[in-house]
């Protein structure tokens, strides 16, 4: 998202498939920095977000999903991901609650 901009030293990972881990160096970049937890949100809940969450889980990361920071063109698919899939992959909560945990 160009609107967010980035600063010198920021790492930019461009995904080419549904999941951000497949075919990118995201795992390597996170491990180099000692990251053990990822917080996810985004568009296409049942495709992009779910694929990335599954990838993060498979790579051994602690996964947190900000369920109010995602959407899907298919409301039923969104509901299924949020209620059935995501609780199996990690923790789910609102953006405010997750930010509140940061102190």
Quote the number of domains for the chain. Answer: 1
> Which residue's structure tokens are 């053990």?
36
Pair 49, 74: CB distance under 8 Å: no
| Residue 40 structural domain | 2-101
pLDDT digit string (tens) for the chain, length 103 residues: 577 778 888 888 999 999 999 999 999 999 999 999 999 999 999 999 999 999 999 999 999 999 999 999 999 999 999 999 999 999 999 999 999 998 7
The dihedrals phi and psi of 74, each to the nearest 5 degrees, come to: -110, 105
Residue 82: what pLDDT? 98
CATH at 6: 3.40.50.850
Q: Do the beta carbons of residue 13 and residue 29 sit within 8 Å?
A: yes
Q: Would you list the DSSP string of 45-69?
A: IIIIIHHHHHHHHHTT-EEEEEEEE
């Amino acid at each position: 998202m160009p609107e967010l901009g980035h600063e010198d030293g920021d790492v930019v990972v461009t995904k080419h498939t549904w999941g951000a881990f497949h075919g990118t160096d995201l795992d390597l970049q996170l491990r180099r920095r000692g990251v053990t937890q990822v917080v996810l949100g985004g568009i296409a809940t049942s495709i992009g977000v779910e694929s990335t969450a599954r990838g993060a889980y498979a790579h051994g990361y602690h996964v947190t999903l900000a369920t109010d920071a995602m959407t899907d063109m298919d409301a039923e698919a969104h509901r299924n991901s949020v209620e059935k899939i995501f609780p199996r992959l990690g923790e789910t909560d609102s953006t405010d609650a997750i930010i509140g945990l940061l102190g």
